Structure 1
Amino acid sequence: MKLEKIINEIEKILPTKTAEEFDNVGLLLGKTDVECNKALVCHDVTDEIIDEALNNKCQLVISYHPLIFKSLKKINYEDRIGRIITKMIENKLSLYSIHTSFDNLKNGLNFDLGKILNLQNQKKLIPKKNSLMKLTSYVPNGYLDIVLNSLYKAGAGEIGNYSNCSFSAKGEGRYLGSKESNPKFGNKEELTKTSEIFINLIFPSHRKKEIIESLINSHPYESVAYEITKIENKNPDLGLGSIGVLPISMTEKKFLEYLKNKLPVSVLRHSRFTKNKIKIVSVLAGSGAFAIDTAINNKADAFITGDLKYHDFFKSDNKILLVDAGHFETEFFIKNKLQELLKEKIPNFAFIRSKINNNPVKYF
């Protein structure tokens, strides 16, 4: 199978257009026209991961974190990143990275972290802005369900926990076909009046191409009238972080003990106790200090993330319990989830889960 085909299938599940602007996702190394029969799924790319991929005769490494994140000015074999890139090129290994294209999914990384903590009624902590569009079109009587069902299948009409959402109203359409036209109703060079139905649906902007193709392919007219507009509504299905509710409220001390039982961590760094019960919990796996204010504004009792700095803990200001559970420790399940997702959606390809735990942080 060509690598290009594998990438196309991956990006149907994890569109690169949904990733954050600061990120570097997609094919980072390799050519799309090479044969690819096996991929190693890992958390981070290290020397050990490359050896593991080669020992398993993989042609592709799929990593969660991108190996190349900031701009590279040189590729030096003495440098870790340069050494790994060189070794991959020498062994014709391709590299594809996922990162926030998975985080931002409706049921992505942070939703899974929330499930581990038994959070209920989860929603996005930071819904993505400027990621929704609205389609308007006009469908003749008798074709409404055909067109709508095609658009739903392409990803239109989903709002939160609801699918197949649309608005329609009856009206009259008019057109005058030229000599070269082939009208579905009426005759060439004659003004035609026909009963039509006005339709409105929203869709995620990264599905624009599929939505237009679906509309044109399912619509009976040879020239389909439609408009697409950007809308400013926040997208409840895309974005970073998650916020939900614990089954029962608990004291802060009990909550920290609860976290230690749920996550692979023996030590938790946290802010001063607020003396409030913990019920509403927000999470952002990995590095999430930038979302502290958002968690507070959403009335969360606790915020779980990693990589908090000294001064970040002051931001709790007796309003929220901040918990640094570790970058890797809040993402520990990512290899399993990615492999499960890829195997489910692309069953005719071999995805191997790495056996290496490459958390660079050690505790004494």
Structure 2
Amino acid sequence: MRLAAITKYLETYAPLNYQEDYDNSGLLTGDTNQEITGALVALDCTEDIVDEAIAKNCNLIITHHPIVFKGLKKLTGKNYVERVIIKAIRNNIALYAIHTNLDSVQNGVNGVICKRLGLQQSRTLVPKAGVLKKLITFCPVAHAARLREALFAAGAGDIANYSECSFNTEGIGTFKASAGTQPFVGQQGIQHQEQEVRIETVFLIQDERKVLLALLENHPYEEIAYDIYPLENKLNTVGSGMVGWLEEEMDMVDFLRFLKSRMNVTVIRHTREIGRKIKKVAVCGGSGSFLLGNAIAAGADAFITADFKYHEFFDADGKLVIADIGHFESEQFTSDLLTDLLRAKFPELTTHLTEQKTNPIHYFI
């Protein structure tokens, strides 16, 4: 099993262009041609995790949080980040992180939380913009159906739960072939008019290469006229946070007990009662205070996340219950998700779920 096959699968599941600008997801150390003997999955990469990988004969560590987050100028072993990198390289262990890109997909970090809470009709809280493009091209009427099929097969035309979406209008195209050309229709030196179809379809930006290849290989013309536009439209299946409905509404205390049990947490920091029962719930694994306004605007009765600061709790303003369950706690089941995905996709690959609890925060209860 080569590393490239594993990274390609993970980046299909959670494309790297979905990560936030500040993030550093992807392959951090290692050669994509490297043969992988085993993979160890964890939330964080620490020295203990590297030691565990060595003991289990794993030369790939996949984590949610990237060990290299800020720029490294030296590798002298002066801190735990540098020591982890040095130890991994010395032992020929590849390090891979799948962070905010996994936060952004519906079947990622937040999807796990929604599933554990049994939320119904869950959807993205803040859809992401800048991940769609539109292709416009012009094709002879007789070849339009074949070209559309090729574009759809390459990934174009998917809009939410609909596929093979396009808009088609017929018109007259004109061109005059110069000397040295081999026009599919018409003659050199004479203006030609052709009944053509204008085909418009959208695609994800990570699929641009595949879509263009399908266009070039299936369009009959020697010179193909086409336009590609970036779209500001938001993609509802990709973005920050999620929101859904509990099967049954609960009083706040019952809800907090339920949350504590389902998410396996010992402590919940929360705001005061809001005078109504909890039914609609917003979630964001990790640090989610930046989504508080969006959770309120969505009409959520509760917002489950982590890392709220003291004064930020006031911002709830009685409009919803903030339930801060802790950063590690909100993301702890991400490792199970990744392990399950790898075992299902690559049954021949030995994949281990870490036995270490990497949470740096301890509670005295």
1:328-350, CA deviations, whole angstroms, 9 ceiling, x for partnerless residues?
11112111211222344455544
Q: TM-score, normalised by structure 1?
A: 0.93
Separation in 1, partners of 2:149, 2:241: 31
Task: Give the structure 1 partner of residue 159 of structure 2.
Answer: 159
Within the alignment, does 1:286 sit opposite 2:286 as a pair?
Answer: yes
The 3 A distance-change label for structure 1 pair 169 and 231 is same
The 3 A distance-change label for structure 1 pair 180 and 59 is farther
Over the aligned positions, Cα root-mean-square deviation in angstroms equals 2.0
Within the alignment, does 1:117 sit opposite 2:127 as a pair?
Answer: no
Task: Give the structure 1 partner of residue 310 of structure 2.
Answer: 310
What's the % identity of the aligned pairs?
40
Q: Displacement, 1:5?
A: 4.5
1:309-357, CA deviations, whole angstroms, 9 ceiling, x for partnerless residues?
2112111101111000111111121112112223444555443332323
Once the two structures are superposed, the pairs formed by residues 1-364 of structure 1 within 5 Å of their partners are 1-346=1-346, 349-364=349-364
Separation in 2, partners of 1:218, 1:49: 49
Separation in 2, partners of 1:157, 1:347: 32
The 3 A distance-change label for structure 1 pair 52 and 320 is same
1:167-211, CA deviations, whole angstroms, 9 ceiling, x for partnerless residues?
111222222223333333334444332222111112222322222
* Matched letter for residue 361 of structure 1: I
The 3 A distance-change label for structure 1 pair 341 and 139 is farther
* Matched letter for residue 287 of structure 1: S
Q: Provide the secondary structure at the position in 2 that maps to 1:342.
A: helix
1:70-96, CA deviations, whole angstroms, 9 ceiling, x for partnerless residues?
223443424211221111121111111
The 3 A distance-change label for structure 1 pair 147 and 15 is same
Q: TM-score, normalised by structure 2?
A: 0.92
The aligned length equals: 364
Separation in 2, partners of 1:233, 1:290: 21
Separation in 2, partners of 1:130, 1:247: 34
* Matched letter for residue 263 of structure 2: L
Separation in 2, partners of 1:184, 1:347: 49
Q: Provide the secondary structure at the position in 2 that maps to 1:192.
A: strand
Separation in 1, partners of 2:106, 2:215: 24
**Is this contact kept in 2: 1:129–1:232, CA < 8 A?**
yes
The 3 A distance-change label for structure 1 pair 29 and 166 is same
Gaps of 5+ in 2: none
1:89-112, CA deviations, whole angstroms, 9 ceiling, x for partnerless residues?
211111111101111124322122
